[in-house]
């Protein structure tokens, strides 16, 4: 439809129709089953209101959605099509590593391709939009949803969020196999006080804009069609009613013209927040903030009409929201093709598209982070004098739930476990044995997940027998690989934890195995950085695999046996213990900085019972070879403010990277910059660039980074955004701890 036709349609719609477009309900209201997250209480909706709703969430299935669309459009007075949306977070039928793992790849293009594949599968099931990417900055491992973010760095998150949006939407969201993307959760959701889900967020304006806003803004600049409000308060105002956030910044400063959708029940939750005395006020505050779609409450449905008729709410507010929703439907081509790419044959295919499965297997190792390795990895594929046989002992050895807590639509049987991968590994001649040893959940432990209810139903005797068998198998092996970690339903939404270790019952198994065979390789599954002190101290190798998705088993076995190398580098720090949290690399120096090990007395910024440094720092990760870095060289010692690059406002920093090992390998060369003094305190360093460089054994290559004035900009004392003259350090190395640096200055002409 043309924009004139859209305007004509809007003008012709009744007040009820207009309000209907702002309502979003799960498919359960349309003769299907929906996924219910968040507080769903009595909805108080009439059948007519349901028949008028403008969008549906969490329902999938080409045949089902076609049927819902057909039935709905026949009843809708102007036959306006429904929007179908769902959480396609790290894959649809083919599931990829969780976003936090993807961030560790330091390869945004990998995530773009994952999003493209996800969009194809989601579009064929009838979906038009996904509630992804989640671009919240996260620095608190206690918070369950760190698994859904790409980590603790604003620059990295911005690159990944933009790449995912390009993967979902392509150049034109109306094209085949493309779906609309939704940047979430705006804003600051990743910094809940105490790491406790839905808790208040207290950030200064400067920290908010410097660290937390860039990834949302870059998502808008990348063309995301939707933005989702966050549950939290910011400055003690819930985001969903926060006019400054939504109107002044999102739409005013950033020019966002897309659809703003509330998070689940967030509009009704304005009452619980205590800023709306009743649903009338909640409706008024949310619409005034410019929230276009009310996800899963009756507030807009039952509390807009009268206020508009009484003139308390301007019709212009409603019309503006309806127009944005109609425009999105039009961009998707739904007026001409209401079912867009829904394809029963594709959607119901017997197996995952082979190319998708192959990509999932190839991509996952790039997200694995090798945290420790004394040389025991890679394992030999054939028996050797020292490694005659290998045991796989641990609860994840045959676990199918390896996709993370935000993967709702995959077929469990299509996931590949470690055991299945071992059974299918044709190149392995080294004898392998396996034993589960325990369940992922402890005795009697159970939890309601988003997909299903999970429970450990084993009896005590059965568990004791499992453990005894595991110890026996471990004792008889030369090497023991221990796949273990947290349950995926103990991560994600509503999963804040005050302790962040590997579950204790699994650690008991680890200790019993260690007592009979210390040649242990731990394969750690988790959706958050865990406290890995004990396994890191005792095991000979620790491989962090997060939740690796459909092809996880193959990817892990390929990596353990050297078919491929672990390519990840941490995008989120692993704390020494939970007491350090929040801990992240780009902290401020403080007035009394302390470096672990320095004998600088009592009154410095330190703990007396733990180091300042996390156990594993941002950017850290090992491969199967080693690299050396030459000192950093700079093309010039100073830059001139305000000049064009050619005239001296940019310089080049370079190192020579050498593969000093005996295997080819890929290094993530990282550029950090420190502003030594500014009108406000500046971080000890900030990631400003990275390059994945693959070298053969003994090969060297110069790796260059252009440093521009733009990289040096920040929110200055007066909150203007720009650079300031002064001294800087450029560091280039293998992680955020590198001391390989050179000094340069930025000066006024
Ligand atoms: C949830 C999440 C949000 C998700 C939405 C729809 O509560 O906060 O990220 O997209 O509901 O499932």
Instruction: Give 197-232 pLDDT, tens digit per residue.
Output: 999 999 999 999 999 999 999 999 999 999 999 999
Q: Which residue has the tokens 């709703």?
A: 53
341 CB near ligand 1 (under 6 Å): no
pLDDT value, residue 39: 38
pLDDT value, residue 32: 47
Buried b (16+ CB within 10 A) or exposed e, 588-608: eeeeeebeeeeeeeeeeebee
197 CB near ligand 1 (under 6 Å): no
450 CB near ligand 1 (under 6 Å): no
Q: Which atom of ligand 1 is nearest to the CA of 87?
A: 10
- Which of 249-263, 276-290, 644-658 has the lowest average pLDDT? 644-658
Pocket perturbation via mutation, ligand 1, pick of 60, 87, 144 by most ligand atoms within 8 A of CB: 87
Residue whose CA lies nearest to ligand 1 atom number 8: 263
Q: Is the pLDDT of residue 36 over 60?
A: no
C-alpha 131 – ligand 1 centre gap (Å): 7
Q: Once rounded to an integer, what is the mean pLDDT over residues 169-176?
A: 98
C-alpha 264 – ligand 1 centre gap (Å): 6
CA distance 737 to 731: 9
Q: Once rounded to an integer, what is the mean pLDDT over residues 17-35?
A: 80
Q: Which atom of ligand 1 is nearest to the CA of 35?
A: 12
CA distance 431 to 100: 34
CA distance 460 to 443: 7
- Provide the pairing of β-strand 390-393 with 182-186: unpaired
**Nearest Cα to Cα of residue 640 among 743, 732, 748:** 748
C-alpha 557 – ligand 1 centre gap (Å): 33
Per cent of the chain over pLDDT 70 is 98
37 CB near ligand 1 (under 6 Å): yes
184 CB near ligand 1 (under 6 Å): yes
Q: 263, 294, 558, 675: which one is catalytic?
A: 263
Q: Is the pLDDT of residue 332 over 80?
A: yes
Q: Which H or E element spans position 453?
A: strand 453-455
Token code pair at residue 378: 């890679």
Q: Which atom of ligand 1 is nearest to the CA of 38?
A: 7
**Nearest Cα to Cα of residue 499 among 529, 458, 476:** 529
Token code pair at residue 720: 């203007």
Residue whose CA lies nearest to ligand 1 atom number 6: 264
- Provide the pairing of β-strand 479-485 with 686-695: unpaired
748 three-state secondary structure: coil
Please list, in sequence order, all residues whose beta carbon lies within 8 angstroms of the beta carbon of residue 497, skipping any fewer than 6 positions away: 142, 144, 490, 528
**Nearest Cα to Cα of residue 131 among 208, 74, 56, 234:** 56
- Predicted confidence band of residue 125 (pLDDT cuts 50, 70, 90): very high
**Contact assessment for residue 215 and residue 186, using Cβ atoms and an 8 Å cutoff:** no
- Predicted confidence band of residue 450 (pLDDT cuts 50, 70, 90): confident
- Predicted confidence band of residue 177 (pLDDT cuts 50, 70, 90): very high
87 CB near ligand 1 (under 6 Å): yes
C-alpha 420 – ligand 1 centre gap (Å): 33
131 CB near ligand 1 (under 6 Å): yes
Q: How many CA atoms lie within 13 A of 547 on its CB side?
A: 30
Pocket perturbation via mutation, ligand 1, pick of 37, 56, 179 by most ligand atoms within 8 A of CB: 37
- Predicted confidence band of residue 645 (pLDDT cuts 50, 70, 90): low
**Nearest Cα to Cα of residue 291 among 227, 354, 199:** 227
Q: Which atom of ligand 1 is nearest to the CA of 184?
A: 9
DSSP 218: H
Cα torsion 92, 93, 94, 96: sign: positive
Residue whose CA lies nearest to ligand 1 atom number 1: 264
pLDDT value, residue 309: 98
C-alpha 600 – ligand 1 centre gap (Å): 48
Token code pair at residue 637: 């010692």
CA distance 512 to 151: 34
Give pLDDT tens digits for 520-570. 999 999 999 999 999 999 999 999 999 999 999 999 999 999 999 999 999
User: Which residues are bridge partners to 294 per DSSP?
Assistant: 23
User: Which residues are bridge partners to 639 per DSSP?
Assistant: 746
38 CB near ligand 1 (under 6 Å): yes
Q: Once rounded to an integer, what is the mean pLDDT over residues 151-163?
A: 98
Q: Which atom of ligand 1 is nearest to the CA of 58?
A: 12
- Predicted confidence band of residue 35 (pLDDT cuts 50, 70, 90): very low
136 CB near ligand 1 (under 6 Å): no
Token code pair at residue 40: 């769903």
Q: Which H or E element spans position 237?
A: strand 237-238
**Contact assessment for residue 181 and residue 226, using Cβ atoms and an 8 Å cutoff:** yes
460-475 vs 504-516: helix crossing angle, rounded to 10: 30
29 vs 104, which has greater pLDDT? 104
pLDDT value, residue 27: 84
Tell me the backbone φ, ψ of residue 637, rounded to 5 degrees. Answer: -95, -10
Residue whose CA lies nearest to ligand 1 atom number 11: 264
Buried b (16+ CB within 10 A) or exposed e, 57-88: bbbbbbebbbbbbeebeeebeeebbbbbbbbb
Cα-to-chain-centroid distance, residue 652 = 32
Taking residue 735's Cβ as centre, other Cβ atoms within 10 Å add up to 17
Give pLDDT tens digits for 295-326. 999 999 999 999 999 999 999 999 999 999 99
**Contact assessment for residue 204 and residue 213, using Cβ atoms and an 8 Å cutoff:** no
**Contact assessment for residue 131 and residue 408, using Cβ atoms and an 8 Å cutoff:** no
Q: Once rounded to an integer, what is the mean pLDDT over residues 179-188?
A: 98
Give pLDDT tens digits for 75-89. 999 999 999 999 999
- Predicted confidence band of residue 34 (pLDDT cuts 50, 70, 90): very low
pLDDT value, residue 221: 98
Active site residue 263: yes
Pocket perturbation via mutation, ligand 1, pick of 131, 185, 197, 495 by most ligand atoms within 8 A of CB: 131
**Contact assessment for residue 219 and residue 169, using Cβ atoms and an 8 Å cutoff:** no
262 three-state secondary structure: coil
Looking at 476-599, list the stretches that DSSP marks H as alpha helix, in order from N- to C-terminal side.
Answer: 504-516, 533-538, 552-560
C-alpha 35 – ligand 1 centre gap (Å): 10
Peptide linkage before 37 cis (omega within 30 of 0): no
484 three-state secondary structure: strand
- Predicted confidence band of residue 452 (pLDDT cuts 50, 70, 90): confident
CA distance 69 to 117: 24
Residue whose CA lies nearest to ligand 1 atom number 10: 131
Q: Which residue has the tokens 């080819």?
A: 664
- Predicted confidence band of residue 577 (pLDDT cuts 50, 70, 90): very high
What's the whole-number average pLDDT of the chain?
A: 96
Q: Once rounded to an integer, what is the mean pLDDT over residues 635-661?
A: 87
The region that residue 683 occupies, defined by phi over 0 for left and psi between -120 and 50 for alpha, beta otherwise, is beta
Query: What is the 3-state secondary structure of 275-326?
Result: CCCCHHHHHHHHHHHCCCEEECCCHHHHHCHHHHHCCCCCHHHHHHHHHHHH
Cα torsion 364, 365, 367, 371: sign: positive
Q: Once rounded to an integer, what is the mean pLDDT over residues 499-528?
A: 98
Give pLDDT tens digits for 352-400. 999 999 999 999 999 999 999 999 999 999 999 999 999 999 999 999 9
**Nearest Cα to Cα of residue 164 among 230, 93, 91, 229:** 91
Q: Is the pLDDT of residue 38 over 80?
A: no
Q: Is the pLDDT of residue 41 over 80?
A: no
Token code pair at residue 311: 């003139």
Token code pair at residue 435: 């034993």
347 CB near ligand 1 (under 6 Å): no
C-alpha 404 – ligand 1 centre gap (Å): 15
Give pLDDT tens digits for 250-260. 999 999 999 99
Tell me the backbone φ, ψ of residue 587, rounded to 5 degrees. Answer: -80, 170
Please list, in sequence order, all residues whose beta carbon lies within 8 angstroms of the beta carbon of residue 630, skipping any fewer than 6 positions away: 655, 656, 657, 658
Q: Which residue has the tokens 């649903």?
A: 279
């Amino acid at each position: 439809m043309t924009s004139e036709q859209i305007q004509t349609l809007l003008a012709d719609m009744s007040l009820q129709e207009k309000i209907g477009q702002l309502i979003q309900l799960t498919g359960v209201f349309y003769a299907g089953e929906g996924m219910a997250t968040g507080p769903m209480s009595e909805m108080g909706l009439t059948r007519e209101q349901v028949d008028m709703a403008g969008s549906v969430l969490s329902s999938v299935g080409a045949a089902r959605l076609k049927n819902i669309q057909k039935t709905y459009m026949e009843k809708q007075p102007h036959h306006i099509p429904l929007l179908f949306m769902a959480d396609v977070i790290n894959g649809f039928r083919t599931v990829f590593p969780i976003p936090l793992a993807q961030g560790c790849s330091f390869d945004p293009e990998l995530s773009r391709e994952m999003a493209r594949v996800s969009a194809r599968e989601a579009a064929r099931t009838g979906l038009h939009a996904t509630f992804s990417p989640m671009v919240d900055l996260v620095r608190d491992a206690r918070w369950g949803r760190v698994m859904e973010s790409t980590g603790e760095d604003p620059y990295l998150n911005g690159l990944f969020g933009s790449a995912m949006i390009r993967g979902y939407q392509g150049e034109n969201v109306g094209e085949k196999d493309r779906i609309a993307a939704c940047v979430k959760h705006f804003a600051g959701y990743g910094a809940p006080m105490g790491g406790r889900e839905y808790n208040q967020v207290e950030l200064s304006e400067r920290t908010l804009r410097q660290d937390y806003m860039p990834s949302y803004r870059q998502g808008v600049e990348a063309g995301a069609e939707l933005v989702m409000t966050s549950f939290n308060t910011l400055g003690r105002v819930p985001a969903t009613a926060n006019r400054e956030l939504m109107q002044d910044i999102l739409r005013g400063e950033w020019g966002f013209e897309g659809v703003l959708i509330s998070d689940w029940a967030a509009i009704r939750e304005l009452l619980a927040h205590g800023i709306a005395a009743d649903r009338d006020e909640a409706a008024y505050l949310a619409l005034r903030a410019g929230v276009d779609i009310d996800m899963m409450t009756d507030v807009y449905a039952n509390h807009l009409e009268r206020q508009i008729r009484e003139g308390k709410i301007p019709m212009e507010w409603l019309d503006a929201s309806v127009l944005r929703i109609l425009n999105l439907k039009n961009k998707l081509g739904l007026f001409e093709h209401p079912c867009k790419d829904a394809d029963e044959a594709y959607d119901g295919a017997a197996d995952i598209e082979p190319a998708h499965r192959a990509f999932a297997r190839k991509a996952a190792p790039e997200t694995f982070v090798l945290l420790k390795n004394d040389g025991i990895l890679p394992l030999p594929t054939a028996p050797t004098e020292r490694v005659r046989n290998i045991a796989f002992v641990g609860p994840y050895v045959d676990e199918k739930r390896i996709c993370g807590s935000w993967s709702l639509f995959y077929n469990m049987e299509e996931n590949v476990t470690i055991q299945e991968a071992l059974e299918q590994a044709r190149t392995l001649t080294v004898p392998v044995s396996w034993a589960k040893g325990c369940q992922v959940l402890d005795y009697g432990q159970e939890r309601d997940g988003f997909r299903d209810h999970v429970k450990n139903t084993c009896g005590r005797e059965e568990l004791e027998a499992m453990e005894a068998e595991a110890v026996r198998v471990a004792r008889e092996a030369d090497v023991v690989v221990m796949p273990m970690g947290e349950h995926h339903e103990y991560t994600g939404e509503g999963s804040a934890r005050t302790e962040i270790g590997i579950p204790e019952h699994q650690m008991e198994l680890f200790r019993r195995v260690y007592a009979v065979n210390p040649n242990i390789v731990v394969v750690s599954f988790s959706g958050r950085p865990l406290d890995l002190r004990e396994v890191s101290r005792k095991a000979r190798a620790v491989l962090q695999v997060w939740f690796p998705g459909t092809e996880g088993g193959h990817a892990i076995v390929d990596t353990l046996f050297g078919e491929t190398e672990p390519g990840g580098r941490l995008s989120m720090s692993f704390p020494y213990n939970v007491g350090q949290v929040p801990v992240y690399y780009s902290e401020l120096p403080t007035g009394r900085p302390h470096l672990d090990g320095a004998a600088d007395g009592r009154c410095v910024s330190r703990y007396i019972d733990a180091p300042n440094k996390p156990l594993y720092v941002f950017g850290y990760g090992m491969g199967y070879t080693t690299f050396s870095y030459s000192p950093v060289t700079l093309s010039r010692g100073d830059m001139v403010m305000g000049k064009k690059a050619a005239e001296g406002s940019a310089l080049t920093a370079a190192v020579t990277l050498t593969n000093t090992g005996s295997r080819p390998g890929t290094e993530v060369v990282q550029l950090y910059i420190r502003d030594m003094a500014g009108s406000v305190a500046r971080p000890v360093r900030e990631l400003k660039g990275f390059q994945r460089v693959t070298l053969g054994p003994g090969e060297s290559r110069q790796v260059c980074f252009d440093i521009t004035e733009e990289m040096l900009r920040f929110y200055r004392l007066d909150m203007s955004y720009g650079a300031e003259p002064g001294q800087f350090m450029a560091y280039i190395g293998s992680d955020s701890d590198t001391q390989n640096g050179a000094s340069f200055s930025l000066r006024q002409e």
